Every structure is written in C-alpha cells, then in structure tokens.
Amino acid sequence: MRLVSGIQDHCDVRGLLDHDEYSGEFSRLLCVAQNEGVSFSECVAAAKLIRSSNGPGWRQAWEELARSHVQRAEEARRTGNEPEAQKSWLHAANYFMAAAIESCPEGAEPALGALARSCLHNYLAHLTPQGEAVAIPWLEPRSLEGFYLPVGTYSAETGPVVVCIAETRRTKEEILSLVLRSARKRGMTLLCVDLPDEPPSSRAGPETGIPAILDYLIDGRGIDAKRIAVISDGSPSSLVTRGIALDGRIAAAVCDGGLWDLWVARQTEACGAALGMVQGCARRPAVSCPMLVPLLASEGIEPGHARQLLTEHHPGNRDILLKVFGETSSGPWTLNGYDPILVADFVFDWVGQQLKAATGDADCIRRLESRL
C-alpha cells in the first residue's frame, strides 16, 4: 500500500468499507487519519486483523489499539513529552469511539464511549492554550455540553469563534475530530456542542439552544457577535437554521438554510395535507446573515430545485452560497462520497472571509463561488 502520493485503495480497507455495520465509522477513521487524528497504518493493520478468520473482531481490535495509546500517553506524560501525550490521547479517543459505535452487532458500548470522552478531556488539557469541557446553561435543569478550544494566535476577546453544532448526524466528539485541524490552522477558536433532538421541556424547541450558546459566548466569554459563526453538522434537519434565524446575532452561518423544512412543506402541498401523509411545518423566519448551504450530491435534492427554494425563502438575503460536495470524490477514505476534511477546509476558508467582512476587513475578501 503506497502512502506517498495520497491514500490508495487496499483490499483490507475495501472489505470493511463494504460492510454495512462498519463502513461509516471506518471511513471516518480514514478521514481523521489525514489530519493525524489516528494513524493510517494502524487502521489498515487493524482492518487486516478484523477481516482474518481468527481475528479479534471489530470492538476488540479498536479497544486494544486505544488502550495501547492510553499507555503511550501516560508514559509520555511521565517523561514530560507533552506533544506525544497530546497526540496519543487524541488517537486513543478516536479508537475508543470506533469501538463503541451503535452499529456494532453487539450494540453500543457506553463504557467505551465514556473512555473516549475521558481521553478527549486529557487531550484538551494538553493543548496550549488549554481547552476545556464546558456546560452551557440552557433550560433548567438542562445544560448543553461542549468542548471549547481557544487558540494561541488570538485572544478569546478578539479572535474569530466558530461554533460547530452536532445536530442529529454526528456527536461533538466526531465533529471535533473532523474540523480540529482546519480551525487551528486558521487561528479560530472552536466550540463544539451537542444539540439534543428534543428539549427537556415542551416550553421551547431544541433550536432555542442556539440563543443559549450565543448568550454564553457574548455574555460569559466577552466575544464580539461580529466574530461568531455557526456551522451545523450537515444533518437532514433545519434545527440549527431555525435557531440562527430566531436569534439574529450570528455573523455567518453554514447550515441547510431551512431546506429540510422547505422540502417537507413542499411535499405536504404536493400530497395534500388532508391525506395526512406528510407532517406539515410552519413557515420559519429567514436567515439574514451570509450563509453557506452545503449540499451533498448523494442526498437526492437537485441543486437547481434547492437554489429555487432558498431564493424564495430568503428573499432579503443576497449573500447565500449553495455548494455541492461529493460529485467527484471516490477514494476509500470518503464519507458518503465526499471527503469531510476537504469540506472542512472549504467551509473554514469561507467562514474566515465572512468574519473579516463583518468586522470591516473587506480588503481580505475574495469570492469562492458565484452566489445565488
């Protein structure tokens, strides 16, 4: 297997990618390997063991690999090798996440998920400046859990802050592993937060978590709202879009632009609401800030139709970019046909430009694509 000019296909890799229970998680590991969140050679070796007739099985293979990195991290910490300890904690966390997945035939393993979170906490503690696990006040007695990672090149008060929301598709731990390098390379403070599907009370919807996060950053951390962007995880859901529209303080947003809600409403109109075939949804407020709408080629909605829906729903917003991903990617490290590491780089470049524009640094702006 050659690694010189990029990741190449491999029979052991392809065998796991074709396995329904494991393909998505194994693809995530291969993606994370591109930004050194795991070791690619270790993943390939583990794949070979898992596929062998007398191999250890999925869970055991990744758990043993994770525990070996925990030992490395503890040894590196004892000898004062902080960079090595930091790297090993991150690797251990990603391997524990792989071992704990729900799609494993034995079911999810909560204890391994807890170990993954513990390793991530140790990783955050070894960053410079130090990252932290945070609890964001929301609806009593519930809070939102997140990871806050400031950067050294900016102070928290003046630097850009990107909020990544785990809406329904991924967890904050998975998002952190995919966007960490892109954010830190661009000098951006990162806040990764889990947004529950349902709130603990019927008083308000889960989208009210977005204003709570903004209150936490602006009032609790002293962040200028003009330097805050929000990115959703690309789920087939408009929760984050609703929260952004209702709050109105975000400088830039990467979300579905309400496409999911709009599609449901259009299907209701087509089928006839009286048939009860599709649950309708009330018209939501439109987003007024600059917005990037990522569209995955594999998810079925035709880009022209999506563009039409967005134009109709956001008539006052002329700064909307619809970007289709996954049309050309075909490597074994892709997720659903696209490379999330390349997507993250594109998204963070776009976010950086919008935040510069919001703070008056318009000379640094260049357009990445034509607008709607």
Q: What pLDDT score does 106 carry? A: 63
Q: How far is CA 167 from the centre of its chain?
A: 9
How far, in Å, CA of 266 to CA of 301, rounded?
13
How far, in Å, CA of 125 to CA of 119, rounded?
10
> pTM for this structure?
0.83
Residue with tokens 């959703």, as numbered in its chain: 232
If phi over 0 gives left and psi between -120 and 50 gives alpha, with beta otherwise, what is residue 101? beta
Tokens of 366: 């260049």
How far, in Å, CA of 270 to CA of 5, rounded?
50
Q: How far is CA 273 from the centre of its chain?
A: 34
How far, in Å, CA of 29 to CA of 97, rounded?
10
DSSP 105: T
Tokens of 7: 């990741």
3-class DSSP state of 93:
helix
Q: H or E element: which one contains 95? A: helix 82-99
Pairing of strands 189-194, 143-149: antiparallel
Tokens of 95: 């391997």
Query: Is there a contact between 244 and 250 (Cβ–Cβ < 8 Å)?
Result: yes
Cα–Cα distances (Å) from 183 to 55, 150, 160, 196, in that order, read 38, 10, 10, 24
Q: Cis ω on the peptide bond leading into residue 129 (within 30° of 0)?
A: yes
Query: Is there a contact between 207 and 242 (Cβ–Cβ < 8 Å)?
Result: yes
Q: How many distinct helices (H) and strands (E) make up the chain?
A: 12, 8
Low-confidence ranges of the chain (pLDDT < 50): 1-10, 155-156, 274-282, 362-372
Query: Is there a contact between 46 and 75 (Cβ–Cβ < 8 Å)?
Result: no
Nearest-5° Cα angle at 48, 46 to 51: 110
How far, in Å, CA of 233 to CA of 27, rounded?
16
Q: What pLDDT score does 4 carry? A: 29
Q: What pLDDT score does 369 carry? A: 43
